[in-house]
Structure 1
């Protein structure tokens, strides 16, 4: 009987989605490093999700998406986990609101002053505005964020790898040789983080992640063969192939996509960028 009571208390103690994810991971015999490898999410962010400490994440926009990816990695229903995380975010937002004492209108001595009344009105309006913005931004990034960026691409899209084909082909003919298995490395030099996505042959973003400032990510060989790269802030992303800097992959603050990750294509892009960045000065007459 005592054992049943202890078990029931243990079940009642697990009230947060982070606890559920952690227990599923431990039951599967996985470490945080294993889940990080499967999801391409940093261990620091995964640990924050397990603790339900959402302030440690880069933004509440990413909380639901990270939790759903974690759920997939440990064989939990991702839709259910996503809904649970959204409820917890709403509860945290509600709990952060200041409490106030209700005044009885029949008691003139306890009526609030005009200054206090206006203060409460302003605070309530600010909270309502902040909540509306948070609700707008808290939609899962792997759905709404990517869809919004795709729509923006129609108005401000940099030339894709196919559009730059002639220049890249010409550069490849006389450019530097590179090994077919040369490592392709993506770096966020800082000071800002960089969102990157990997698109399949149809242009659909199948995988995505955020690089923190100073973080380096070596693209897996399978990604190089199957996917192309997209990002919305190309000026904040450094791409190297075999240790060679490819240079700019698109105009600043513009959504670029269809960037081939194959070493030969990246070297061709680097050779095409070389004249613009390293042209010899004209001799003085």
Structure 2
């Protein structure tokens, strides 16, 4: 037998594994391992292991088959045929005796998200959920059903006006003397209490609920633009510059049109007026 007769037989014997077939197809296409890695998004280390049929370097049976099919597509080989050949080799090598690292049907690993991408998505989702929760808690959009119920109750249970509700000018001036116009107005929940902020037309524009012990410093813009309303006056403590102005209304009675200006609140503290009545400079709604 001549050397020319032996050479083809040696060439045929050299291609005994699917990895050899994939390697030869890659080389025939003029591609490097890096080129195939770019096309398949599979690491060069895993591609090299497939070419050497060293399946122990790969994470599991699912990934061996999926990687091989992706490799076959990259070098224009029939992926179904390559996948079947790889499965046969796995059975021959008794690779299936190892614990399977799979929980799903075999799929193309190139389409699976990386661990870093997965964790990034989880973190972004948690951040968005947290931001939405904070926005809902601080949202100033009024609940229409709650506001409608409060407005209906106002006609039936609003604290009545009385002659004592009007603070004499001299007395009011004395009570508010020395109070800074920008003194902080702080609302504190003695128990869970709902508070609303009404515009000049008496419509509730913003609202929130205070938990027991929770404090809320009224923004300067609210002091100028809005008046206060609440349905549980006994559960709300109002302080101006640290001074307690006393209850803003009788228990379990919806009160509204409570001026938030420091001078008006101090004047209320020095008066015997019924809560909910008009305060200096603020019309009763």
Calculate the TM-score normalised by the size of structure 2. Answer: 0.48
